[in-house]
Amino acid sequence: MNMESVLRMNPGHEPNSYARNSTHQRNVMFKAMPIVKERVRALYRKALFPNHFAVAGLGCASGSNSLLAISWIIEAISGLCSQTGRSLPEVLVFLKDLPGNDFNSVFSSLPSFYENLKEKNRVESNCYVSAMPGSFYGRLFPSRSLHFVHSSYSVHWLSQVPELPEQNKGSIYMASTSPSSVFQAYMKQFQKDLTNLLSSRAEEIIPGGEMVLILIGRSIPDPTSEDCCLLLWWLSRSLVEMADGGLVEAADIDSFNLPVYMPYKQEVTDVVEGEGSFTINRLETFEVNWDPFYHEDEDDENCTFDKFKSGQNVADCIRSVTEPILRSHFGDGLVMENVFKRYVRLVGEHLEVEKTKGM
């Protein structure tokens, strides 16, 4: 499977699009916002207030999240310039995603983005945005051209499906039923990909430059932990139900695996230290609810939990990021409607019993 041709988010602004179903990712970005602003301010000072500041956003996707971190980076620099009586530098922004990404949607949002920057910072922003299609697991930018790299919810996607020595029957991702060789293959692919990402960015970032990488992980070393595998386990179960009903072939499920890996924090540390180009300044973990619209006060006994609504919220998010690659293997039309109809029910029933969070 050629990942660059099938790995993308649902485009446009239709009901199943990523642009309309990425609140979960937005919630994660807001949790990390203080760190992003802190590191940008520290780096801008350390670089002695350069006249231009180059930023790369890896895995920009589309929709309102695409330029969210960029706006925070500019706000951080603008605030520091105001405090020190300096003019804003030229900010060069390179948005990166695979060629199949909906870049046209991103470009159409630029006029309002520039206008908002002008209103917030009360000066001309001097911001220049361009796109760099390609895989971030290889070189993308000229040597020593970037000051700061940001990526949110992208680095857990692998460059390819791991080469599995044996079939991962009945599941499209690692699960408690998977052979141990499946876990090893996934981990090795993650290690290889993250190493390539680090070595490529090490060539492109100026000495002293920094990266902030935000990715899905798991809370314990066990790769079958619920906060890692359960969300995709229910997607596997949805497909298995369809196979039991003759709507898809069981062999098609057995031959399909998602190119994603959710690492334990020590696995990330080991790769960074082993590759050697970067030093970890800060490594933090936090939890987010599966349902991006769920609030803790809904646990109040006076509140009625709507399992269908909550299951639908989760399914909308997962569908927007997995449908293109699922469609490439299982087909279009009613197959996708059927699988996510089942997914809504299974996830809703699970959340009725346990309000699960992920890393």
Please write the tens of the pLDDT for every residue from 145-197.
999 999 999 999 999 999 999 999 999 999 988 999 999 999 999 999 999 99
Q: How far apart are CA 259 and CA 172, in angstroms?
A: 9
Q: Is 280:269 a contact under the CB 8 Å cutoff?
A: yes
Q: Is 26 exposed, middle or buried (0-12, 13-18, 19+ CB in 10 A)?
A: middle
Between CA 242 and CA 262 the distance in angstroms is: 26
pLDDT over 70 (residue 302): no
Q: What is the pLDDT of residue 17?
A: 95
Q: Which residues contact 107 (CB under 8 A, 6 or more apart)?
A: 131
Determine how many CB atoms are found less than 10 A away from the CB of residue 139: 15
Contact partners, residue 255, CB within 8 Å, separation at least 6: 167
Q: With helix as H, strand as E and coil as C, how does 273-315 read?
A: HHHCCCCCCCCCCCCEECCCCCCHHHHCCCCCCCHHHHHHHHH
Strands 52-58, 127-133: pairing is unpaired
Question: What average pLDDT does the chain have?
Answer: 92
Give percent of the chain above pLDDT 70: 95
C-alpha 19 chain-centroid distance: 13
**Span of 98-102, 118-122, 130-134 with lowest mean pLDDT:** 118-122
Residues 6+ away with beta carbon under 8 Å from 336: 319, 323, 326, 327, 330
Q: Is the pLDDT of residue 301 over 60?
A: no
95 confidence band (pLDDT: 50, 70, 90)? very high
Token digits of residue 228? 């890692």
CA dist., res. 9 & res. 24, Å (int): 14
Residue 264 in contact with residue 217, Cβ under 8 Å? yes
Residue 84 near residue 46, CB atoms below 8 Å: no
In the prediction, which pLDDT does 261 show? Answer: 96
What would the DSSP string read from start to end of 152-187?
A: ES-TTB-SS----SS--TT-SS--TTS-HHHHHHHH
Domain ranges of the chain: 3-224+258-288
Quick one: pLDDT at residue 284? Answer: 94
3-224+258-288 to CATH, choices 3.40.1180.10, 3.30.750.24, 3.40.1010.10, 3.40.50.150: 3.40.50.150
Q: Residue 129 — very low, low, confident or very high, per pLDDT cuts 50/70/90? A: very high
pLDDT at 299 over 60: no
- At residue 252 the predicted structure's pLDDT band, cuts being 50, 70 and 90, is very high
pLDDT for 45 beyond 60: yes
Q: Over 70: is that where the pLDDT of 5 sits?
A: yes
pTM equals 0.93
